[in-house]
Amino acid sequence: MGLKGNAAIVGAAQYRPEKYQTAPRMFHLEQVADLASRALADAGLQADDIDGLVINGPQFHEASVFVPAMAAEYLGLNLNFAEVVDLGGCTSVAMVWRAAMAIEMGLCQAVLCVLPARMAPMGPDEDPAWMARAMRFGGHSTAFGAPEAEFDLPYGHMGQNTGYAMIAQRYAAQYGYDPLAMAKIAVDQRSNALANPEAMFFGKPLSAEEVLASKMVADPLHVLEIVMPVAGGAAVIVASKELAAKARHRGALIKGFGEHLSFKSPTYAADMTRTPIGPAAARAFAMAGIKPADVDAAQIYDCYTITVLLTLEDAGFAPKGEGMRWVREHDLTWRGNFPMNTHGGQLSFGQAGSAGGMSQVIEAFTQISGRAGERQLKGCDTVFVSGTGGVMSEQGALILQGA
Amino acid sequence: MSTNKPMPVPTEISAPFWEGLKAGRVSIPRCNSCGHWIFYPRRHCDKCWSHDVAWHDVSGEGSLYTYTLTRIPTLPDFADEMPQALAVVELDEGVRINTTLIGLAEDEIRVGMRLKPVFERVRDDGTTLLRFTGIDKTIDLSPADEVAAEPAPAAPSVTKVPVSDEAAMRALVSETFTAWSNEVVVDQALIDEFARLSGDDYWIHTDPDKARKMGPFGGTIAHGALVQVLQSRMKIPLGFEVTGFTNMVNYGSDRLRFPSPVPAGARIQARARVKSVEKMKSGTQLILEVHTHVVGAERPSVINDLVILYM
């Protein structure tokens, strides 16, 4: 079943996370071209090696339809495979396996996966109110006939924070809750960010006391358990084994993947505390022929601390309902016995929109290719990566292995 | 209540649900083929895909599946509900509903607790939302709640401070704000009246339909200047009264900021602190820092460093 592991991530690039106010404004096409050329240089391949493209459709500034064709034209690419992914924070992981699948099926040999996430310059006729209007309801649709517009928004159910908070409350009622263990997730990741000069919170240590003293946003989530949205953008190049052999760095073979989704609002989940990463990770591990205990590191999508906790449990790293004890008993830093989100995670690296999840993919590649600097793990061959979109709505998993 | 709160727009598919709420009934579809209850309303069964579904009235009773209390409003317009008790309720039929809890103290809320429906009419057109409360609670939703002139808070003990007593005057300076004033409703009629008086009839204040469609706030907002002058309607419990002067002059403002909007229909309240007291050639100058907030909102809507000169 699934992939044979004949495609690898061979190059990557990402903008250093920055505050929106100070980040350069660039057209998304320009960001795509810039990120693509940086990723290509990192891979050491030629532009005409690239014959596949996976790109975001939603939130692409210069077009809402025909995005791949416009980007191909702008880049000067001849494509044998083009794809748009619309899976929120799961997009990055989903892009990588789609690229690998297309390569293994013989459709193409090298795929650019790219997510521009800096803001674009404002046109003379553009209405600044448009942006504010779009932001008002976060990821919630206000379209006539959209169930969430009709059944969520009038009650104040909107955005992500309260959905994740309600999942955490349900978890607390079922299994108990230890705020200190949740704070430890943020603190261990910050410890990792202190070894990553690219991270938003590099040079800013954090204690569990500070997390627990930070403002409560929606019980039981404190503001320091929630990612900070930043400007950024990321690209990776996935290539066939043959091309990967010519690349500059050790590639990260895509050995397994899984994806699962069945709702937008977790209210309609069969069980709110059994998240879609369960079946997604099970498939990924089975495809790769390994067990959770076999990984050298885990890069776990971390929009909230509760996302990490539930992923640790449902992906099979920690027993169900015992995640908090498990977190207390493990050192999640790059020095520790379960290196996780070794770049700081999005909580401490910054979350550049849907490119945020690519930071986890890129960190896995960086560790596998031995270029993680101070935080480099010894003998990092096998890495688990997860992606999460919506409110634990859509989740995906990758197993990456050094070539 | 802010009139900019999002409201449900029933569709042909969902209309029987919303009509039911208006009549005090919870009505939801059920599949005739497999017996599955369906929520939110659809024309098909989301279990077996049969289109043979029919509406049924149910008791509306259920249990609390999960909830959260918000400490920051999910939208500024919900500031009057703080903390919002956002909840997922599982009806006895098994379907789950996104809703809010009312009439329960924070420490009364427990996952698994029994709940019953509350039908709250939120618009003059009869639009009714389905909220929930404890099964043994009695909820009074008579519309007397916010329009009725709220009695001014009991007058706090007031210390008289002679303006000539420089030390006592300086002792008024404080980092701490007073308690809140009475609340004032800023409705569209008031905004329209101010637009007429001031001549500022920009659509973001006066055209609810256009503001809803094109503005960034989901509806109209009050003029900053209106919110500023409404300070006169809010009795701030200062706790002191300066005496012994011949003339008191409102000398203007050292700082006037409008950090966040006041949506039409919102309630506002104010509080203050004495920022500084200074002896001048012409008299004694006191700066009163007044903050006006939408009720429940953390961020002020108006910051006014009011300069008062006692001569």
| Cβ contact A399:A253 at 8 Å | no
Residue found by looking up tokens 């980092």 in the block: B175
| Nearest CB to A155; choose among B98, B111, B216 | B98
CA angle B217, B223, B228 (to 5 degrees): 125
Cis peptide before A301 (omega within 30 of 0): no
Number of domains in chain B: 2
Q: What is the ipTM of this complex?
A: 0.95
Distance in angstroms (rounded) separating the CA atoms of residues A5 and A288: 8
Across the 311 residues of chain B, what is the mean pLDDT of every consecutive 10-residue run? 86 98 98 98 98 98 98 90 96 98 97 98 94 95 54 70 93 94 93 94 93 88 94 92 92 94 93 95 94 91 95 91
User: Phi/psi of residue B169, each to 5°?
Assistant: -65, -45
Residue B121 sits in the same domain as residue B192: no
Distance in angstroms (rounded) separating the CA atoms of residues A154 and B100: 10
pLDDT at B145: 47
Determine the length of chain A: 403
Mutate to test the interface with A, among B74, B80, B91, B119 (most CBs of A within 10 A): B74
Classify A221 as helix, strand or coil. strand
Residues A95-105: tens digit of each pLDDT: 999 999 999 99
Pairing of strands A81-85, A52-56: parallel
Cis peptide before B83 (omega within 30 of 0): yes
pLDDT at B146: 47
Distance in angstroms (rounded) separating the CA atoms of residues A174 and B3: 38
| Cβ contact B196:B279 at 8 Å | no
Residue B174 sits in the same domain as residue B275: yes
**Helices A305-314 and A277-288, packing angle to 10 deg:** 50
Residue B186 sits in the same domain as residue B303: yes
pLDDT at A91: 97
Mutate to test the interface with B, among A158, A169, A268, A304 (most CBs of B within 10 A): A169
Quick one: closest CA in B to A217, which residue?
B71
Distance in angstroms (rounded) separating the CA atoms of residues B221 and B261: 6
Question: In this structure, what token pair is assigned to residue A83?
Answer: 């794809």
pLDDT at B264: 92
pLDDT at B169: 95
> What secondary structure letter does DSSP report for A123?
P
| Nearest CB to A170; choose among B66, B72, B131 | B66
Residue B287 sits in the same domain as residue B257: yes
Query: Which of these, B257, B228, B251, B241, lies nearest to B307 by C-alpha position?
Result: B251
Chain A residues touching B100 at Cβ < 8 A: 155-156
Which H or E run includes A70?
helix A67-75
pLDDT at B80: 86
Distance in angstroms (rounded) separating the CA atoms of residues A314 and A279: 8
Residue B30 sits in the same domain as residue B127: yes
Cross-chain Cβ contact A151/B97 below 8 Å? yes
Residue B119 sits in the same domain as residue B211: no
| Cβ contact A349:A17 at 8 Å | yes
pLDDT at B147: 46
pLDDT at A199: 98
pLDDT at B217: 87
Question: CB burial class (10 A; 0-12, 13-18, 19+) of residue B165?
Answer: middle
pLDDT band with cut points at 50, 70 and 90 for residue A299? very high
Task: Give percent helix, percent strand, percent coil of chain A, each to the nearest 5.
Answer: 40, 20, 40
Instruction: Find the CATH number of the domain harbouring B227.
Output: 3.10.129.10
Confirm whether B64 is domain-assigned.
Answer: yes
pLDDT band with cut points at 50, 70 and 90 for residue A304? very high
Give the residue-averaged pLDDT of A207-229.
97
Cross-chain Cβ contact A129/B215 below 8 Å? yes
Distances (CA, A) of A307 to A1, A346, A375, B154: 28, 12, 23, 48
Q: Is residue B267 less than 8 Å (CB to CB) from chain A?
A: no
Q: Is residue A41 less than 8 Å (CB to CB) from chain B?
A: no
Closest chain A C-alpha to B244 CA, distance in angstroms: 45
| Cβ contact B82:B70 at 8 Å | yes
pLDDT at A126: 78
Quick one: closest CA in A to B84, which residue?
A156
Q: Is residue A218 less than 8 Å (CB to CB) from chain B?
A: yes
User: Phi/psi of residue A253, each to 5°?
Assistant: -70, 140
Confirm whether B153 is domain-assigned.
Answer: no
Distance in angstroms (rounded) separating the CA atoms of residues A249 and A37: 16
Q: Is residue B78 less than 8 Å (CB to CB) from chain A?
A: yes
Q: Which of B87, B108, B138 is the last residue of a domain?
A: B138
Q: Is residue A141 less than 8 Å (CB to CB) from chain B?
A: no
Confirm whether B3 is domain-assigned.
Answer: no
Quick one: closest CA in A to B64, which residue?
A170
pLDDT at A73 over 50: yes
Domain that holds residue B220: 159-310
Give the residue-averaged pLDDT of A8-30.
96
Residue B102 sits in the same domain as residue B43: yes
Question: In this structure, what token pair is assigned to residue B88?
Answer: 């997922």
Distance in angstroms (rounded) separating the CA atoms of residues B76 and B299: 10
Quick one: closest CA in A to B100, which residue?
A155
CA B309 distance to own-chain centroid: 35
Cross-chain Cβ contact B217/A132 below 8 Å? yes
Give the residue-averaged pLDDT of A22-39.
97
Cross-chain Cβ contact A170/B65 below 8 Å? yes
pLDDT at A356 over 70: yes
pLDDT band with cut points at 50, 70 and 90 for residue A138? confident
Closest chain A C-alpha to B42 CA, distance in angstroms: 10
Q: Is residue A165 less than 8 Å (CB to CB) from chain B?
A: yes
Closest chain A C-alpha to B173 CA, distance in angstroms: 28
What single string gives the DSSP state of each residue in A335-357? TSSS-BSTT-HHHHH-B-GGGHH
Confirm whether B128 is domain-assigned.
Answer: yes
Which H or E run includes B89?
strand B85-91
Q: Is residue A166 less than 8 Å (CB to CB) from chain B?
A: yes
The rounded mean pLDDT for chain A is 96
Closest chain B C-alpha to A46 CA, distance in angstroms: 46
| Cβ contact A396:A301 at 8 Å | no
Residue B97 sits in the same domain as residue B35: yes
Distance in angstroms (rounded) separating the CA atoms of residues B292 and B229: 10
Residue B112 sits in the same domain as residue B181: no
Residue B111 sits in the same domain as residue B22: yes
Confirm whether B231 is domain-assigned.
Answer: yes
Distance in angstroms (rounded) separating the CA atoms of residues B180 and B271: 5
Question: In this structure, what token pair is assigned to residue A25?
Answer: 């404004």
* % pLDDT > 70, chain A: 99
Predicted structure pTM score: 0.87
Longest CA pairwise span in chain A (Å): 56
Q: Which residue has the higher pLDDT, A129 or A333?
A: A333
Distance in angstroms (rounded) separating the CA atoms of residues B29 and B51: 11
Residue B240 sits in the same domain as residue B177: yes
Confirm whether B4 is domain-assigned.
Answer: no
Give the residue-averaged pLDDT of A77-90.
97
Residue B199 sits in the same domain as residue B56: no
Residues A148-194: tens digit of each pLDDT: 999 999 999 998 999 999 999 999 999 999 999 999 999 999 999 99
Classify A230 as helix, strand or coil. coil
